[in-house]
C-alpha cells in the first residue's frame, strides 16, 4: 500500500505534466518557458496532436474546442448517476 506522501508526490508529478503540456505539445519545457506562447504563436494541443488530429490542434489542451477532451468529458459525465 502506498503512503500518503507517495500519493501526494505522484499527484504533484501528474499536475506538473498537465501544466507543462497545456499550450503546446512539446515536452521539453514548462508552460512559463514555452517559446510558442512567448512569440504569440497559436497553441498546439497535446491531446489532439498525440491522437492524430493534427490539422485541428490549434487550441490549448484544456480548451472546450479539444475533440479528445470532449470525448473524455462525455465519457466521464455518462458515468455519473444524477439523481
Q: Return the domain boundaries, the chain.
A: 4-78
Q: What is the pLDDT of residues 19-35, one digit of tens each?
A: 556 788 887 877 778 88
Cell matching residue 77: 459525465
| CB-based burial, 57-69: b 16+ in 10 Å, e otherwise | bebbbeeeebebb
Say yes or no to pLDDT of 42 above 70: yes
Weakest-pLDDT range from 25-34, 35-44, 67-76: 25-34
Count the helices and strands in the chain (H runs, E runs).
Answer: 4, 0
**Would the pTM of this model clear 0.85, i.e. be above it?**
no
Q: Cβ(25)–Cβ(42) under 8 Å? A: no
CA distance 12 to 19: 10
Amino acid at each position: 500500500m502506498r503512503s500518503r506522501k507517495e500519493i501526494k508526490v505522484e499527484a504533484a508529478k501528474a499536475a506538473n505534466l498537465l501544466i507543462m503540456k497545456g499550450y503546446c505539445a512539446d515536452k521539453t519545457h514548462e508552460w512559463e518557458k514555452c517559446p510558442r506562447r512567448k512569440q504569440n504563436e497559436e497553441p498546439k494541443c497535446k491531446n489532439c496532436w498525440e491522437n492524430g488530429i493534427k490539422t485541428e490542434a490549434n487550441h490549448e489542451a484544456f480548451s472546450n474546442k479539444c475533440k479528445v477532451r470532449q470525448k473524455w468529458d462525455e465519457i466521464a459525465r455518462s458515468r455519473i448517476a444524477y439523481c
